[in-house]
Structure 1
């Protein structure tokens, strides 16, 4: 069963074009996510690696990793054709990169069954949109495991605000509001963002994430970064999976 994905409705052409500037200002740690992805994959993957980018978006990670690692190949998967159109345009500006990238417009589970196993994968700001159901987060991680070789690393990064019943929820939300105001985001836009996060984000804790990863065939996750609500984790596909 396809995992539900709310992103195509959100990322039409005009929003896709503005996505990078908007999210870089609105989301604490956005640049750090990509920095950590770059260094972790650099030290973990071989010279001729094949990298699966789940939720490739506008191609930020492919651009970064592709320029730093000229022997790597990439498969960028995203359900939004408009986002991938922006990614293709950006990748085409880098000499020699375009021929090393394949694209798939669709959910991860619509990849062909004979897609080659990859040496590593990224899933940046994707799974937080999916509910904690068998067809949501669990399905995404299970499909990710299908397209990775044993031992392959997977870096996950998600926006995971604490639930409203937790003691630090109000503090974290206030800090996020202050972060955005310092970067010139208007209050009405901030309020829309808060409303969207409350409606569309499905947060889970580290213990639940670990359980989902174990069920999907991955090792326990190691936290590699955090900036307010943004968390990054590193895991590997188990050798016996």
Structure 2
């Protein structure tokens, strides 16, 4: 198992995920709204959306509230995180299917769109490419994929991770603490430069990757599934 996933398996450790993540990710609610709008460009009507890394349920809840005509299949390897997602989506449970595991557990249906938010930075390059290819296999031609996660802008994540860590620290401005948190993230996460992220999307069979979100070390892209 990927060591980065171990903390997410502990119910106590993830119990505050829903409260803490919006504090740690700049503009998270707006990221969710932008993602929904980007998906809707290629799926303007009723749609079936694949959500990879759905644990916590934050994006599922936001998408379902914005689009009552959409249904969702979410996958996540953490049972504890899936429990949070179930609770977050109780009001729309009839439209949400949650599966334990990686993208491989998702059916080979032709989904109308897909998202993978705050997830790919946990995977090394080879596993990230494999995951993107498996997502593509499950999408209709022309469907949109939206991804967003930590990156290494300029090829060096240090400064931008420090800024992200400082943003996440709402207890006060402590540069030493922020630098320490950034070093821990840099050591743990296999981050890629933005141009390498776009190249992976192309290698996986996606077309026209376009940057739409940039917030300190976070970047987000939309791309379309090639025919």
2:137 corresponds to 1:142: no
1:117 to 102, 110, 117: 110
C-alpha distance in structure 1 between counterparts of 2:177 and 2:27, whole Å: 19
Give the Cα separation in 1 of the matches to 2:173 and 2:206: 41
The SS at the match of 2:145 is strand
Q: CA deviation at 1:174?
A: 4.4
Q: With structure 1 as the length reference, what TM-score do the two structures score?
A: 0.83
Which gives a bigger RCO, structure 1 or 2 (Cα 8 Å, sep 6+)? 1
Query: What residue ranges of structure 2 are gaps of 5+ in the alignment?
Result: none
User: Residues of 2 paired with 1:8 and 1:206: CA distance?
Assistant: 23
Residue deviations 1:69-90, cap 9 Å, x none? 1111100110001000111012
Q: 1:3-49 CA deviation, whole Å, 9 max, x = no partner?
A: x6445411121122211222222233333321211222233313210
Counterpart residue number, 2:61: 63
Contact 1:52 1:74 in 2 (8 A): yes
Q: What CA RMSD, in Å, does the superposition of the two structures yield over aligned residues?
A: 2.3
> Does 2:82 correspond to 1:84?
yes
Q: What is residue 40 of structure 1 aligned with on the other side?
A: 38
Cα distance in 2 between the residues matched to 1:24 and 1:91: 17
Contact 1:162 1:203 in 2 (8 A): no
Greater helix proportion: 2
- In the other structure, the counterpart of 1:10 is 7
1:23 equivalenced with 2:14 (yes/no):
no
CA distance in 1, matches of 2:79, 2:173: 29
CA pair 194-102 structure 1, distance change in 2 beyond 3 A: same
Residue 180 of structure 1, CA deviation? 3.2
Task: Kindly indicate whether residue 209 of structure 2 is the aligned counterpart of residue 221 of structure 1.
Answer: yes
Gaps of 5+ in 1: none
CA, structure 1 residues 226+218, in 2 after alignment: closer, same or farther (shift >3 Å)? same
2:146 paired with 1:155:
yes
Change (3 A) 1:193 1:208: same
27-36 or 16-25: bigger deviation? 27-36
